[in-house]
């Protein structure tokens, strides 16, 4: 997992991921629950934005949360402790060399991770190895090509494209959401079912105007301003105009749309 993490590791990014998890938790996770005693691997837990939700929603399952960043794990551990959860064990490890025995997990959960990897299918194959036959894998990813809005704005679209291009240069794919089904298929999982989780925001949904349009999506785009300018993908003025137009979609007559994709598959064969 040598690919650099395009969003960076700063405090403001931690805050953004936390807001994101708060606003979207029901949309993304309401149908994820693991039974009592199940052993679940969360691969790429980051700062624990999803880990707390998982641990709360399946209080009698045992989670093992793995991330490549020791700093992120420290933050995730703090959050899980603050939430009063004791059913999560943390391990620092690379996703491609997991320190676990084959078929040692009942379920695997991986959220907002594949988008950052140059070999997402290989990553899923690796995760398939530690999953027991009959177990499930859950994959959640966004897709920045699913973002459209009113008022439409070429400047805003160009700013988003900067983020997509930066992620591409870092080896990732910010448009991976639409590929969840083919990627899971290629990795050898069975009974794959992908469901879109569309975030639709207009002024009748003020919690999403603030929690998603402003504090999740626009904040994420704002977060790559320096990198985009440094990489010559935009000049500061054009980029700022794009961000301004994204904020404009959060006004009374604005609309913002985005889509996450959630895939659940099973492992039927003993050797994926």
Measured at the CA of 142, the angle between CA 238 and CA 235, to 5 degrees, comes to 10
Radius of gyration, CA atoms only, the chain: 18
Q: Which of residues 168-187 bind a second copy (CB under 8 A)?
A: 175, 178-179, 181-182, 185-186
189 binds a second copy (CB under 8 A): no
Q: At 65, give phi and psi (nearest 5°).
A: -110, 125
**100 is a contact residue toward a second copy (CB under 8 A):** no
Task: Enumerate residues 219-238 that contact a second copy by CB under 8 A.
Answer: none
Stretch that binds a second copy, among 23-31, 72-80, 149-157, 213-221 (CB under 8 A): 149-157
In the complex, least distance from residue 266 CB atom to a second copy, rounded to whole angstroms: 13
> Minimum CB separation from a second copy for residue 267, in Å?
17
Q: Is 203 in the site for a second copy (CB under 8 A)?
A: yes
H-only helix segments in the chain = 11-29, 51-57, 70-82, 120-130, 154-169, 180-186, 206-208, 219-222, 225-230, 236-248
Q: Identify residues 35-74 at the interface with a second copy (CB under 8 A).
A: none
Q: Which is nearer to a second copy, 79 or 262 (CB)?
A: 262
* The token pair that represents 214 in the structure block: 């402003």
151 preceded by a cis bond (ω within 30 of 0): yes
Tell me the C-alpha distance between 202 and 180, whole Å.
27
* Beta carbons of 91 and 60 less than 8 angstroms apart: no
* Rounded CA separation 272/264 (Å): 16
Least distance between a second copy and beta carbon 258 (Å): 11
Judged by CB under 8 A, does residue 266 bind a second copy? no
Write down the least CB distance from residue 196 to a second copy, Å.
Answer: 4
Answer for which of 81, 134, 195, 235 binds a second copy (CB under 8 A) is 195
Instruction: Please give the structure tokens belonging to residue 160.
Output: 């988003």
Size of the site for a second copy (CB under 8 A): 30
Q: Applying CB under 8 A, which residues contact a second copy?
A: 143, 145-146, 148-150, 152, 175, 178-179, 181-182, 185-186, 192-196, 198, 200, 202-204, 253-255, 257, 259, 261
């Amino acid at each position: 997992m040598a690919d650099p993490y395009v969003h960076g590791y700063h405090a403001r990014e931690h805050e953004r991921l936390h807001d994101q998890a708060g606003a979207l938790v029901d949309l993304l996770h309401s149908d994820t629950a693991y039974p009592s005693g199940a052993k679940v691997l969360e691969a790429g837990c980051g700062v624990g934005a999803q880990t707390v939700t998982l641990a709360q929603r399946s209080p009698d399952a045992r989670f093992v949360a793995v991330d490549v960043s020791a700093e992120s794990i420290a933050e995730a551990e703090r959050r899980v402790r603050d939430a009063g959860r004791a059913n999560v064990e943390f391990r620092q490890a690379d996703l491609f060399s997991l320190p676990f025995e084959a078929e040692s997990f009942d379920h695997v959960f991986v959220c907002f991770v594949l988008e950052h990897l140059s070999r997402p299918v290989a990553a899923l194959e690796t995760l398939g190895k530690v999953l027991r036959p009959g177990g499930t894998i859950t994959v959640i990813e966004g897709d920045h090509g699913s973002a459209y809005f009113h008022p439409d704005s070429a400047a805003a679209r160009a700013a988003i494209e900067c983020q997509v291009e930066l992620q591409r240069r870092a080896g990732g794919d910010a448009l991976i959401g639409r590929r969840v089904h083919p990627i899971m298929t290629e990795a050898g999982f069975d009974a794959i079912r992908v469901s879109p989780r569309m975030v639709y925001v207009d002024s009748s949904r003020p919690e999403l105007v603030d929690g998603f349009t402003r504090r999740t999506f626009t904040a994420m785009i704002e977060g790559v301003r320096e990198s985009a300018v440094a990489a010559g993908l935009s000049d500061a003025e054009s980029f700022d105009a794009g961000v301004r137009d994204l904020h404009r979609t959060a006004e009374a007559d604005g609309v913002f749309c985005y889509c996450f994709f959630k895939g659940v598959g099973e492992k039927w064969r003993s050797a994926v």
